Every structure is written in structure tokens, then in C-alpha cells.
């Protein structure tokens, strides 16, 4: 596949902390593809995600370009990038119901059609009838699914996954992972998954960048 058809491209990225080079990456992700970035803590995985989402801490310095389709979004503010973040904590709002949390992610639109889409989406992930519940009353796996729907119904073009499965136990982990990956492929999103777990990388099935070898764009 040539680079022009890729949805997301990272060109010549180098991130420095002070004067030391933290990481150096060149990568591209096609629609429906999941790129996995692996590495031990401190290798700059989270820093990479901060840069991708436009929230790099001022302590770091970065050079390089980020393109979504043909558009250069390197200097675009976070909220205009359409790169949605999914954290390891579900971060659901306790003052909103399950459906309220999902609607928070959706674009403006007619309330009734939004409600219907939320109900359909909940049914898709096996959470029918949960829409009015308070997030606190849900199990960990259910909360993770609600957080996923909040991001998916936002209709981003890129999804950034920050160790989203690390807080789930192994049984749940596998099921949630399959659900997330299936949804990403089905919706044709470009996804970047940051993890330190090899089984996540295997399940993603895409290319893997290993950050422990400082910057080498290694293919598996």
C-alpha cells in the first residue's frame, strides 16, 4: 500500500525532552488499521499520544508533521483535530446517566434522533436497557464499553487508545478488546494503540512499533 492512501501519517517526528532525543518515529495508518506502539514505561508512549492529540507538555519539544488525509494538522488545536482519546480509566461523568455520557460525545443534533442512536449503539454492545443507569452502578467492563461508545459516536477520524484494557481482568480484557477492534475496523477509523502488553499487540494484528529500541521503526 502506498503512503498516499493512508488516513493518518506521522512524518519525521522527533520529540526531545530538553536536549535529549526521547523518540523518533515515521509511521502511517490506513483506515481500519490499528497501529500498536509498545514500550516500557518512560519510553515516551504517553508523550507520543499527547503530541498526536495536540496536548504535548511544554517541557517537551517536537519536530515533524502530522497529517490526516491530505490535511496537515500539526499546528491545529486539540479540539479541532477530531482525534479522540480513550483512556484506561473510563472517566464517565457521575453527574450524567449512561446515555447522557454518550450524548456528551455526540455532535449537536436533534435530541430524539440522538436518543435513538444511543439506544441502538447500547444494544450493539450488549447494554440494552442500561441507558438511564448511573455509571457508578455499572461493572468495570460495562463502563469501558460506555466510554468506547462515547468516543465512537463522536465520529472522529482518528482514535488514540491509551492502554484502554490494562485495568480489566484477563477474561473481560479479551472480550472488550475484540469489541473495540471490531468497531474500529467496521467504522474505518485510523487507530493508534499504546500498550505494554504483547497480547494487545497480537490481537490488534497490525504493525507494531517498539519504542524500547529508541525510535527504530521496527516491523513485526
Partner 1 sequence: MIIQPSFFTRWVSLSPRILISLLLVPVAAGLLGLILPAFGWLPALGENTINLRGFAAFFHTPGWTNMLGLSFFTSFISTLFAVILSILILGNYFNSRLLGHIQRILGPILVIPHAAAAIAIGFLIAPSGLIMRLFSPWLSGAELPPDVLLPNDPYGLSIILGLTLKELPFILLMALAAMQQNEIKQLINRQYKMALSLGYYPFTAFCKAVLPSLYPFMRLPIYAILAYSSASIEIPLILGPNSPPTLAVAVMQWFNDVDLSLRIKASAGALIQIALTLSVLLTWRLLEQCVKRFGFSTFTNGRRQYGDLCWKILTHTTTFLVLFFIVLALLGLVLWSFAGFWPFPNAYPDQLVSLHWNSALQQLPQTITNTVLVGITATAIALFFTLFALEAEQQHQTQLGSAASLMVYLPLLVPNVAFLFGIVWVKELLGVKAVFSAVVLGHLLFVMPYMFLSLAISYRKLDLRYAKVAASLGCSPFKVFYAVKLPQLLPPMLFSCALGLAVSFGQYLPTLLLGGGRINTLTTEAVAIASGASRRLSAVYVIIQILLPVVGFILAWLIPKLIFRPRQ
Which residues contact partner 1 by CB under 8 A? Answer: 53-55, 58, 77-85, 87, 89, 91, 93, 95-96, 100, 103-109, 111, 114, 150-151, 154, 156, 160
C-alpha cell recorded at residue 126: 450488549
Residue in the block written with cell 454518550: 102
Q: Which residues pair with 158 in a beta bridge?
A: 83, 190
The CA distance from 39 to 25, in Å, is 13
3-state helix, strand, coil in the chain (%, to 5): 35, 25, 40
Distance of closest approach, residue 59 Cβ to partner 1, in angstroms: 11
Strand pairing class (20-29; 8-17): antiparallel
C-alpha cell recorded at residue 100: 447522557
Distance of closest approach, residue 117 Cβ to partner 1, in angstroms: 12
Distance of closest approach, residue 49 Cβ to partner 1, in angstroms: 10
23 vs 151 by CB, closer to partner 1: 151
Distance of closest approach, residue 216 Cβ to partner 1, in angstroms: 28
151 vs 208 by CB, closer to partner 1: 151
Distance of closest approach, residue 91 Cβ to partner 1, in angstroms: 5
4 vs 94 by CB, closer to partner 1: 94
Hey, is 173 helix, strand or coil?
A: helix
28 vs 83 by CB, closer to partner 1: 83
Hey, is 111 helix, strand or coil?
A: helix
C-alpha cell recorded at residue 18: 530538553
24 vs 83 by CB, closer to partner 1: 83
Q: How many angstroms separate the first and last alpha carbons of the chain?
A: 17
Amino acid at each position: 500500500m502506498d503512503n498516499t492512501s493512508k488516513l493518518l501519517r506521522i512524518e519525521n517526528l522527533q520529540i526531545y525532552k530538553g536536549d535529549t532525543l526521547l523518540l523518533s518515529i515515521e509511521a502511517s495508518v490506513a483506515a481500519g488499521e490499528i497501529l500498536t506502539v509498545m514500550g516500557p514505561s518512560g519510553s515516551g508512549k504517553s508523550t507520543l499520544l499527547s503530541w498526536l492529540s495536540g496536548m504535548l507538555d511544554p517541557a517537551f519539544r517536537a519536530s515533524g508533521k502530522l497529517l490526516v488525509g491530505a490535511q496537515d494538522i500539526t499546528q491545529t488545536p486539540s479540539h479541532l483535530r477530531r482525534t479522540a482519546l480513550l483512556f484506561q480509566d473510563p472517566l464517565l461523568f457521575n453527574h450524567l446517566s449512561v446515555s447522557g455520557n454518550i450524548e456528551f460525545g455526540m455532535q449537536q443534533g436533534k435530541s430524539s434522533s440522538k436518543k435513538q442512536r444511543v439506544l441502538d449503539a447500547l444494544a450493539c454492545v450488549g447494554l440494552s436497557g442500561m441507558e438511564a443507569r448511573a455509571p457508578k452502578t455499572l461493572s468495570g467492563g460495562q463502563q469501558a464499553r460506555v466510554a468506547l461508545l462515547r468516543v465512537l459516536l463522536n465520529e472522529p477520524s482518528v482514535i488514540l487508545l491509551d492502554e484502554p484494557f490494562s485495568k480489566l481482568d484477563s477474561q473481560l480484557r479479551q472480550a472488550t478488546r475484540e469489541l473495540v477492534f471490531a468497531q474500529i475496523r467496521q467504522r474505518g477509523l485510523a487507530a493508534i494503540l499504546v500498550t505494554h502488553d504483547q497480547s494487545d499487540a497480537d490481537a490488534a494484528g497490525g504493525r507494531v512499533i517498539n519504542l524500547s529500541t529508541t525510535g527504530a521503526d521496527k516491523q513485526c
